[in-house]
Structure 1
């Protein structure tokens, strides 16, 4: 096994989107619409303006792991004086490659990108499967997180 890591480019976008949809399915999402056009538009736009970054893990040229970090800005607050927040998403490793440190390496790379961007904090809505990875990395639960669906 010779795992290589590289940044996501437009060339890999279709495969990346396919893997994102697989991840959502695995997490139990209900598919009510074709999400591909919206994902394609989002990633293309935000990769172009630098507010979305992703690292890929490849084995013999095949993408076997993905990561993603969206950068958003809120008014500065004491917990994050820059107001810049990284929203972690698209953390996914193919079933047969799990538990080999690939997700940890991908996570480390997008966190470095968030640090470079000036983020003061990183947030994620973790799947049950991902909780151990994030806790081991140093993420802590924030019991105040609430959501209102429009």
Structure 2
């Protein structure tokens, strides 16, 4: 196994989006729409303006792991005085490559991107499978997270 890492490029988007959808299915999402056009639009816009970055893990030419970090800004608060937040997403490793440190290395790389962007915090809604990785990395639970769906 010869794993290398590089940033996501526009010509990787079809594979990246397929892996994102696989991840969402694994997490138990209900598919009631075709998400591909929305994902393609999001990644094109936010890669273009620098508010989304992703690192990939490859075995040869095959993408076997993904990560994503979206940069958002909200009103400053005591825990994040500049208001810049990294939203972690798209953490996925091909099942044949799990438990080899790939997810940890991808996480390290995108967290560093958030640090370089000037984020004061990184947030994630973790799947049950991911909680162990994030806790070991140093993420803390925040029991106050709630969501209200507008649709």
TM-score range, shorter chain: over 0.9
After superposition, residues 1-150 of structure 1 pair within 5 angstroms as 1-150=1-150
- What is the root-mean-square deviation in Å for CA atoms of aligned residues? 0.4
Q: Deviations over 1:51-98 (max 9, x none)?
A: 000000000110000000000000111100110000000000000000
| Structure 2 residue matching 1:66: 3-state secondary structure | strand
Aligned-residue offset at 1:3: 0.2
- CA distance in structure 2 between the partners assigned to 1:76 and 1:127 by the alignment: 27
The separation in 1 between residues aligned to 2:147 and 2:60, in whole angstroms, is 41
What is the rounded CA distance, in whole Å, between the counterparts of 1:62 and 1:147 in structure 2?
A: 36
Number of paired residues? 150
Uncovered stretches (5+) of structure 2, i.e. residues with no partner:
none
TM-score scaled by length of structure 2: 0.99
In 1, Cα distance between equivalents of 2:91 and 2:144 = 23
Q: State the Cα deviation string for residues 105-127 of structure 1 (Å, max 9, x = none).
A: 00000000000000000000000
Q: Distance in 2 between matches of 1:147 and 1:137?
A: 25
- Structure 1 stretches of 4+ moved >6 Å: none
Instruction: Structure 1 unaligned segments of length 5 or more: list them.
Output: none
Deviation at 1:136, TM superposition (A): 0.1
Tell me the SS of whatever aligns to 1:119.
Answer: coil
Structure-1-length-normalised TM-score = 0.99
Give 1:130 deviation, angstroms.
Answer: 0.2
